[in-house]
Amino acid sequence: MINPRTSRLAAAISLVSALALTATACGDDGSGITGAEGAEGPGTGKVVFWDENGGVRTAVWKEIIADFEKANPDIDVQYVGIASTEAQSKYDTAIQGGGLPDVGGVGAAMVAGIAAQDALEPLDDRIEASSLKGKLNESMTENVRSAGGRDELYTVPISATNGVLYYRTDLFEKAGLGEPATWDDFYAAAEKLTDRKKNRFGYTIRGGPGSIAQALDAMYGQSGIESFWDESGTRTTVNDPKNVAALEKYAGLYRKATPEADLNNDFTKMVAQFDSGSIAMLNHNLGSYQDHVTSLGNDTFRGIPQPELPDGTRVMVSNPVSGLGLLKSSGNKAAAWKFIEFAASHASNSKFSESAGLIPANEEAAEDPWLDKAETTKLGAEALFSGDTKIVQLPYYLPDWNTLSKADSESGFQKVLLGKTSAQDFLDTLAEDLDEAQAEWKEQQG
């Protein structure tokens, strides 16, 4: 029988090859085609910029563009907003048919696929010779470098949205509980704050779309394992006995300290339950911080980094870092780089991150006063910038990562919650697929 995962990988590789062979120049919202070397250009004129989270971040990007054009009156930045759900297909279509931008928003989850098609310019030398040298957070830089799957940097990191444990301070105070700073505190609070007769629960577990990333965060956070692969780089640690035990404990919360409906929960339903007061704790990321502030103000909840182990160690899995890439086909790379450097500078990065409620990649921006008013973001930044938090880099570079960590695994995790599959069997199956994907990726790298 043909392995479905192997078939998908072969199809993906064939598609990349086909796209590279059939690329032709066309389109009116970009500058070139994949593989073309482009040119440095005059450093003036038009620069096309694709925002991969258009609509959500359009307003702040237009402010930054206005600031840039004021400082560089001989450069005109053309903004193109793209919905996040359409960004990957938009890039793929342009790589095939032309019309790539000069600068593009490229998150860590997309960078490997675009770089593999020879569409992105390596940026290490440009950063080294720029005002950004030494100013970008090392953890975020490592995240996007690792995501590219090569020893080159293809995007300049802009912001991060780390995992957060939100908790209702009003419910904790009423129950006489302190902050759930450790995993022991977390489990004790989840049990104590559950009253099934009153439809109140200590925690909401993500059983629907997006469940695997949250489960991995809980697993590695409790096990203390600091790498996704063993020392050989060929075998994953997801089914290490410590991770298996951690998943068993975490999944054991389902129906004991969580609603039964959590089996199909996505983050929208989880946020609504938490904000209504029927849930005491919620794991999500900084993306929902502003929603909580809007619904609850700042007096009835807090958002803190993932709990620590008893010895004070904190381990978290990487969240995709957003970044800006320079497209190799650009005919005006000098001007495009000026825009990227400006956007990642202290002032611009601070403006962007404050608007979005995210952790800035620029270390100077991470020290600005606005973070004092956005406690959850500030705590996340402190955890990330301190160097004490251990970040497990997820293999975004694997062609099959999105499928393996979503469609292929979410139904299996639901079976673990229901007690139909053991944590050991689930993780062994996931590990087998990951090891095979890693071996094939390494073979493709030569």
Strand, coil or helix: 281: strand
- Is the model's pLDDT at 301 over the cut of 70? yes
Q: Which amino acid is at 41?
A: G
Higher-confidence residue of 298 and 60: namely 60
At residue 343, the pLDDT reads 98
More confident residue, 165 or 381: 165
Q: Is the pLDDT of residue 190 over 70?
A: yes
> In terms of Cα–Cα distance, which of 54, 79, 111 is closest to 322?
111
pLDDT recorded at residue 9: 42
pLDDT (average), residues 166-176: 97
pLDDT digits (tens, 9 = 90+) for 304-330: 999 999 999 999 998 879 999 999 999
Highest mean pLDDT: which range of 141-155, 182-196, 275-289, 346-360: 182-196
What six digits make up the tokens of 389?
């938090």
Q: Give 57-61 contacts, CB < 8 A, sequence gap 24+.
A: 57/352, 57/355, 57/356, 59/355, 60/351, 60/352, 60/355, 60/356, 61/352
Identify the residue with better confidence: 373 or 326: 326
Contacts 24+ apart (CB under 8 A), 270-276: 270/204, 270/206, 273/204, 274/166, 274/168, 274/204, 274/301
Contact 416, 423 (CB under 8 A): yes
Confidence of residue 32 (pLDDT cuts 50, 70, 90): low
Average pLDDT rounded to a whole number, residues 420-431: 98
In the predicted model, is pLDDT for residue 27 greater than 60? no
Q: Report helix, strand or coil for 298.
A: coil
**pLDDT tens, position by position, 257-295:** 999 999 998 888 888 999 999 999 999 888 788 788 889
**DSSP assignment of 387-445:** S-SEEE---TTSTTHHHHTTHHHHHHHHHHHHTSS-HHHHHHHHHHHHHHHHHHHHHHT
Average confidence (pLDDT) over 179-203: 97
Please tell me the distance from the alpha carbon of residue 350 to that of residue 104, in angstroms, as a whole number: 19
| Residue 61: pLDDT over 90 | yes
The four Cα atoms 173, 178, 179, 184 give a dihedral, to 10 degrees, of -130
C-alpha 304/C-alpha 381 separation (Å) is 11
Q: Is residue 77 helix, strand or coil?
A: strand
Q: Which of 433, 430, 440 is nearest to 240 (CA)?
A: 430
Position 4 pLDDT exceeds 70:
no
Could you tell me which residues come within 8 angstroms of residue 320 by beta carbon, excluding any fewer than 6 positions away?
107, 108, 109, 143, 147, 396
- Give the mean pLDDT of 13-21: 39
Please spell the DSSP secondary structure of 306-375, one letter per residue. SPBPTTS--EEEPPPPEEEEEBTT-S-HHHHHHHHHHHTSHHHHHHHHHHHT-EESBTTGGGSTHHHH-H
Q: Considering the chain, what is the average pLDDT of its residues?
A: 89
DSSP designation for 260: G
Per-residue pLDDT reduced to its tens digit, 217-253: 999 999 999 999 999 999 999 999 999 999 999 999 9
Mean pLDDT of 389-405: 88
Mean pLDDT of 85-102: 91
**What tokens appear for 292 in the block?**
């909580």
